[in-house]
Every structure is written in structure tokens, then in C-alpha cells.
Structure 1
Amino acid sequence: MTNFHMRFGTEVADALRDGRPVVALESTIVSHGLPRPDNLLVARQIEQAVRDAGAVPATIGMVGGELVVGLDDAQLTRLATVDGVSKLSVRDLAVAAATGADGATTVAATSAVAATAGIGVFATGGLGGVHREAAQSFDESADLVTLARTPIAVVCAGVKSILDVGATLERLETLGVAVVGYRTRRFPGFYLTDAGFDLDWSVDSPEQVADVLTARERQGVHHGGLIVANPLPVDEQLDPDLHDRTLTEGLAMLERDGVTGKAVTPFLLAHFHSATQGASLAVNVRIILRNADLAARIAVAAAARLSDAA
């Protein structure tokens, strides 16, 4: 399956044609979110977690200006190991294509490309959101407005705790993006099991998420994305005291060094990795592997619903 704008990996193209479950995966975590050489190893583990749960992984990225839905191992290796890979949000896609760039897609870009490709489920680590001090800086992730207009289910561990979690939830409500907790009524905070905010809705199984997606289609009402917030078990989260100390230090360093915009998140994540002596990286990996597994099981259930309807 190909079109003028993007190329589909063979495995993904066959799965979409046959109505088999597919899970979209971002490539920013590979090129910008994890240190080398762990990034490539973890990227392969994420794809394997999707396969082990019965779905086909579709890691999305740009290679030489061409959007690829379902990177092969050579392409994945390229984005994981070469220097100068651009971080691509939705606004960057056309410019990057025209200039022949190598690029890794963010949550926003991955969601938009996946929905265009006909993929309805996406697994990531944590969403972007409203940054602290956004009242002055207007710094807000494009993830939020993209999900407001993109019909895709995103399995995540909430939003990164380095953000203003409360303001992010308020923005999601305003934008009409549904948020459900997976077996919880509390919103997770990425490294932390509980970010301190209640949720209106929860679901208890992949099949129940598939029922939500089916209901959305049958209603025929325009809906944006569905966020499935999947918290870490309490015994797998980052130690809360260590988290709070590290975050306070990192925020002070941001202000001291004048770090702003797209550089904020990778800066803080790198600080967490260093200050926690790798503990945050281990938590990060657990998050994405658990989310990949759940997203795959949701995709399997959703594909079964479509098959039954046919």
C-alpha cells in the first residue's frame, strides 16, 4: 500500500488490507526520548510487545523526506543512531518532506499520520500538555489540539509529571477529548501512579475500550481522540520523594539555563535520568512496554468487533 505522501511497510499494509489489528508507535521516543544504545533495543522490545499481544506494530517516522507507516529494522536503526534527526510535530511534516529530512514523529504527528493511514489505536509513554508558567509563555503541546480533531485512541501513562497536570486536564475537557482511566478513577502522572486528579470515567478491560470506540462510530457524532490513561502499579512507579526532589532541581535548572520550547521536555527527561541514576529510565521503559501491550489488546478487541459486525 502506497500513496503520494507516505509509504506503508509491507507487514502493516497487509494487516490493514486484511482488517487485522494494528498499533501505531511514535519514533520520537527512539531518537529523542531514550539514550543510545538503549533506544534501539527498547524500540524493538516495544514492537515485540505489540506482536506478543496479537497485533502488528506500525512505528511511524520520516526517512529521507518520506513518511513511513511501519518502519523496517534498517529504517528504525537509522532514526535511532544517526545525528540530526528532526523532531516532527504536525506542522513540520510538509516542510520536512520537502527538504528530504530524517524525522521522528511526536505524539501529535504520529496520531495524525496514524489516523490518516486508517490506524485507530496508538501506544505512547506520556502525553505532552500545558507547561508550567503557561499563563506567561503560552507554552502548550500540540498533542492537545491535535487530539481534539483526530479520531484515535491513545494509550498512555497520563501526561508527564514535569507539566501542569491540572491545567492539561482542563484543556482536554475544553477541547472535547475524552479521558478514561484504565482500572482507575485517578489520573496517572507518568513516573507516578497518581498525579492527584480524579477522572469521570474508567474502563476495566480492552473489550470495554473497544466498545467505546464502536459506540463512537455508531453515533456518527464528530469526536476527537480518546485517551486511555494506564497507570503504573504503585510498586513500579518512581519513588515519589525522589521524583519531587528531581523535578524541583530540574525546573530550577531550566530557568537558570534559559531552556524553552521543544527543548524543555528532553532537557528535563535527561536530568531525571542523570539525577535518579537511571531509575527514571527504567520506569520509562516499563511504562511504554505496558502501554504497548494494552494498546495491542485493545486493537485486537476492536478488530474483533468489526469482524463480528461484518
Structure 2
Amino acid sequence: MERPGHHCSVCNKTFTEKSNLTKHRKNHFAKENWVCDVCSKSFTTKSSLNIHQKQHQYPHICLYRRGEARLQCTDAAKSVAQVPSKVEDPTWLDPKKAEAAAKISGGELWKGQLVITFGKYAGQTFRWLLENDVGWLVRLLFEYCQKGEKNELLMWQKERLLEYAREFPPVTLHLDRRLKKQQSKKETAESTISEVQQHPNYASDAELLAAADLEKACDRVPREELCYCMRKSGVTEKYVGAVQDMYEGCKTVVRCVVGVTEEFKVVGGGTASGISSEPLLVCYRDGQADR
């Protein structure tokens, strides 16, 4: 046997509980007291208004293709960037006050209501930024992930902006792609450095600096005195003669934007007379090895 129900006299809908019928009848006779402050649409219950307002909280992100946000800025972003922008409300300059104000109007996605306090889009909300210039957002967050931020207020804002952007995969797709590419470059560079350092002919920075200092010192010494010192140090005559032959009768040219001069002899007493002392150092080193 069918249990008797409670029928609505307006729409003839049936309810098993009288309390449910009472709530239902209020929808027929209640005035629309709850108004959306975004689109001015009215609702009979606050719960209906809350459900409706969630539609306004989600940013309308322009897609380049499915699952991928468009990086190009909108005409609205171009217009804002051309006008000097500033943040007049001090609320957004204080992290605690800014978070409290954003949560009042933002609901679950309150971070989207935070206002940018820096850059060419200062004065605009995070949500506006996602809707109008994803490319600028991605460049900003990529630099933040790589270098960090010293200013406490900017660090707080960029961290909240990163958290907000992470809620939308079409946006973070570009950021993650750049970070992955940068990490790959870093790993390749580290691998190359490691291979070079393991090479038997690898010279450390300290060894290269020592060689450079030695070469500079030799460049200030006349060749005759250097050869004399080589003989006194026990370097065999064949190496001393080889050094003398290298620098004897040397010629050079001068190159400039208008052309090249004819060859002319290098004159002067020291190794700094336009000739590299590297061959001399090599001979001196090999001579020491013969000893």
C-alpha cells in the first residue's frame, strides 16, 4: 500500500516529510533577497547565491589549443600596460590584510582576488592576470623559481601567485616545460664539466692562473737574460738554442679595419715584444724534465 505524501498546492510535488514540504513552499513565496554583487542576479536562498558566485571565481583562460593556455596578451592587457598603474589601497601592501580581504570575496579561490602591487599590471587581480597575459605570468614565475625573491612582500605575492597558477594546468604547462628545459641544460652542463675534469690533460683553474702568472713574469724579462738563466739552471743547450731560434729574426704584421700592413721585424730585448712566450715556457718545462 502506497504511503500518503504531502503535496505542494502550487506545483503538486509530493514529499514524504512535512518539513521538506514546508521548505519547498518557501521557494514559491519567498522574495529574491540575495543578489550577486558581480552580475546583480537575484536568488531566493543564500545557498543558491553561493553556488552561483563560484562561477565568477574561476578565471576564463584563453586557450591556444586544448589543455594549453594562450601566451599572447589580450588587448585589455596592452591598454593597462600603457597606463602607469599603481596600488592606492594600502590593504594589498600588507600580506595579512590582503589575505583577509581576498577571502571575503573570493571564496575557495580567494587567491584570485589578490591585487598585484608591482610591475606593469600593478592594481590588477591575479585572476585578471590569468585571463589577460599568461605569457608575462609564466616569465615572472620562471624567474622567481630560478632566482627567488629578496623583498618579503614581493616574495609573499609571487608565492601566492604560483600557488594560484598551479590550480590551472593549462597555465602551469608552460611553466613546467620551461623549468624542465632549464634543468636539462643544467644537467648537460654538469655532465660535460665532469667529463672534462676527468680528462688526463685537464688543468684546474689554479694551474691555469699559475701558468698565466708565469707567462706574464717571463714577458718582462729580456730574452738574453732568460737564456742565461736557463743555462745556469742546467737546461740543455739544445733547448736554449731552440728558444733562440724561435725568436731570432721574427716578423709580424698589424691588422686593422682598413687592411693589413707589410711584414716587419720585431725588435726589442724582451719576450713582450709582440711574441708569445708560450713556446719558451714549454721548452723550459721540457728541459727541466730532461734534468
Length-normalised TM-score, structure 2: 0.21
Between structures 1 and 2, the one with greater strand share: 1
Structure number with higher relative contact order (C-alpha < 8 Å, ≥ 6 residues apart) = 1
Between structures 1 and 2, the one with greater helix share: 2
